Amino acid sequence: MSDRTESPAAAAYVPVPISELVDKAMAYEFNATISLRHWAHSAGALMKQARIYDGEQQVGQAYVLYYRYAQLVVNSLWTHPEAKTAAGKKLVTGLMKEIKPVLARLEELRATITQLNREAEARERETARRRDELEQLRRQTERAARPAPPIDDRPGLGAIDDLAVANHPELLPRPPPPRAETAPAEPAEPVAYPSLDSPAVPALPPRPPPAPPTAARVVEHRTTSKTEGGSPLRTLYLPADLRAAFLDLAAPNTARKLETCGILCGKLNRNAFFVTSLVIPDQDSTSDTCATKNEEALFEYLDQHDLFTLGWIHTHPTQTCFLSSVDLHTQNSYQLMLPESIAVVCAPRHEPSWGVFRLTDPPGIGVVSDCRAPGLFHPHPEKNIYTQAGRPSGHVSIRDGLPYKIVDLRGK
């Protein structure tokens, strides 16, 4: 944990109530059918994300992730059936060691966010005050630009002020028709009203120059995609040539009509995920399935290299490009831990030959999480369980030139 003080650029901060951040932190589903080891790995991923956002001075995001970590470890993991075993207790106890510093950091972040909210509200009030002043100035300028009203010499009326002229033009005498030799009057120059962003306004003192931030602001990637329920999905960048490299590696299995799978791993940087590694775990394959084994070696590699699990990629050597019932349950376990996780399916003998998918939320996540149908392959009659994750409609951006490496753990 760090005891530093945040200093994000004040003008860029959007105030969010602490209660709203807490609601976001609690908006996840704990599914005890997923192994405790996977949930422990997910808790570690939450901690890594929190520290990254904390270091980038994104205090709201950091607060949400620290809070979710604390809630998951303290309240959820102990309810998992595997937590009753000796190995499970040891696993959760190890995660509990982070709780005290996490709670201390949450208190620091709460104070910082509260102060930033107050400052943002003060700026909003000042902006509203300046807007009112500028509107008054605009009205004064408009009145000053009106021509002087004529003098009426009719008995009993006297001079008519400009307000009466504006409200009762029928009281004015009609002007005589212009003579033919009279030159037309020059048109009045238009009045330029000051805008809210004018650099200088004569009636107001100049704005003081903004105070420079005490730390450079981190420019983050914009989040433009959302789930079907409206939750934001951070952009995930996928190297364009990774799929071809995976197919070359899987070619021996594909020729024998055996599936091959790989784990997409990467980094979180400025509010976006980047796939930087394709890890091939030890696995058992058939023509319809591919199951990882020796997961301890996989998790050890991910932890040693500080990598996030961002999804998976696998082949369909004999089938078309879709998510089978087995694939749906596998993908569900990834998305419960990280909503941006994806499934890349490669079907080299069919067209389309590949696709990038995610479960819908709702209804997909809920349908698959609640499914207790027996057997590997079973129907899911509900519609719209999964969808394309690639752009333009999805959150996955496939880019040329992104660096990545392939790590093959089979047989190790």
Ranges under pLDDT 70 in the chain: 1-12, 148-219
Q: How far is CA 311 from the centre of its chain?
A: 17
Query: Collapsing DSSP states into helix, strand and coil, what is residue 289?
Result: coil
Query: Collapsing DSSP states into helix, strand and coil, what is residue 276?
Result: strand
Query: Collapsing DSSP states into helix, strand and coil, what is residue 311?
Result: strand
Q: How far apart are CA 216 and CA 8, in angstroms?
A: 8
Q: How far apart are CA 288 and CA 12, in angstroms?
A: 50
Nearest-CA neighbor of 391 among 345, 351, 346, 358? Answer: 358
Angle in degrees, CA 234, 240, 244, rounded to 5: 130
- Which pairs count as long-range contacts for 81-85, CB under 8 Å and 24+ apart, including other chains? 81/32, 82/35, 82/36, 82/37, 83/36
pLDDT at 141: 87
Q: Under a CB-based contact definition with an 8 Å cutoff, are residues 56 and 268 in contact?
A: no
pLDDT at 178: 58
Contacts of 24 (CB under 8 A, 6+ apart): 64
Q: Under a CB-based contact definition with an 8 Å cutoff, are residues 67 and 22 in contact?
A: yes
What structural domains does the chain harbor? 10-121 (1.20.58.80), 233-408 (3.40.140.10)
Return the bridge partners of 356, or none.
Answer: 344
Q: Under a CB-based contact definition with an 8 Å cutoff, are residues 140 and 35 in contact?
A: no
pLDDT in tens, 126-164: 999 999 999 888 888 888 887 766 655 555 544 445 555
What is the value of pTM for the model shown? 0.75
Q: Per the structure block, which two tokens stand in for 76?
A: 């959820």
Q: Per the structure block, which two tokens stand in for 239?
A: 């190297």
Q: Under a CB-based contact definition with an 8 Å cutoff, are residues 160 and 149 in contact?
A: yes
Residue 82 Rama label (left phi>0; alpha psi -120 to 50; beta): alpha
pLDDT at 218: 55
Return the bridge partners of 51, or none.
Answer: none
Q: How far apart are CA 96 and CA 90, in angstroms?
A: 10
Nearest-CA neighbor of 279 among 255, 256, 303? Answer: 303
